[in-house]
Amino acid sequence: MTRQYVAAIAWLDPYDAENGATQIIPGTHRENHDDSAMAEVLAGDVGDILLFDPDVLHGATTNRTGARRRSLLLSYAAVTLRAQHKQTEALRNIRTDTSEIFV
């Protein structure tokens, strides 16, 4: 199946388990994923970019240091998926402005 969407996170500050790094559960975007898969907490430097399927379970960990962990979240979706994306924003707890699109 051809994917019509992708997400990317570009980090503007170093990130690790202490300052709220992103965690993912590999394979959860697949129909027949392994339910026993463990979360992986990512760590890295300024300028790192993670490309991923938005259906992979992911989220930030707790920032225990109070240090900044700025990042840019970028996403691409085929324009035919726009209405479906808007319908599910509340379910995903989206807190960013997603109104600007490029076609």
Domain range spanning residue 46?
5-77
pTM: 0.73
Q: Is 71 a domain residue? A: yes
Residue 22 burial class via C-beta count within 10 angstroms: exposed 0-12, middle 13-18, buried 19 and up: buried
Q: Is 86 a domain residue? A: no
State the pLDDT at residue 1. 56
State the pLDDT at residue 2. 66
State the pLDDT at residue 80. 85
- Decide if 92 contacts 22 (C-beta within 8 A): no
Q: How confident is the model at residue 29 (pLDDT cuts 50, 70, 90)?
A: confident
Q: Is 100 a domain residue? A: no
d(CA 33, CA 79): 28
Measuring CA to CA, how many Å separate 85 from each of 3, 50, 76, 100?
14, 21, 11, 13
- Tally of domains within the chain: 1
Tokens of 66: 């109070």
Q: Is 95 a domain residue? A: no
Q: Is 101 a domain residue? A: no
